[in-house]
């Protein structure tokens, strides 16, 4: 139960971090916000990379 709550909390934090980085990337590279595929595709890609790195760094070794 505690592990599930912790994982949910971490995912929420990663989601917020991905949102901030997504905003920075869109503004830095001046990507078009009116193109839905680019907008959501970059967000999903950034969230995937951050989540993957986090899980690789902090996974439990059994």
pLDDT (tens digit, 0 to 9) for every residue of the chain, 62 residues total? 887 888 888 889 999 999 999 999 888 988 778 888 888 988 999 999 998 888 888 776 65
pLDDT at site 43: 93
pLDDT at site 49: 93
Tell which phi-psi region holds residue 45, choosing left (phi > 0), alpha (psi between -120 and 50) or beta.
Answer: alpha
Domain boundaries, the chain: 15-58
pLDDT at site 26: 86
pLDDT at site 61: 66
pTM of the model: 0.77
What is the Cα–Cα distance from 33 to 26, expressed in whole angstroms?
A: 8
pLDDT at site 10: 87
């Amino acid at each position: 139960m505690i592990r599930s709550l912790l994982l949910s909390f971490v995912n929420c934090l990663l989601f917020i971090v991905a949102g901030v980085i997504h905003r920075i990337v869109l503004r830095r590279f001046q990507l078009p916000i009116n193109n839905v595929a680019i907008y959501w595709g970059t967000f999903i890609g950034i969230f995937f990379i951050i989540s993957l790195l986090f899980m690789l760094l902090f996974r439990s070794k059994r």
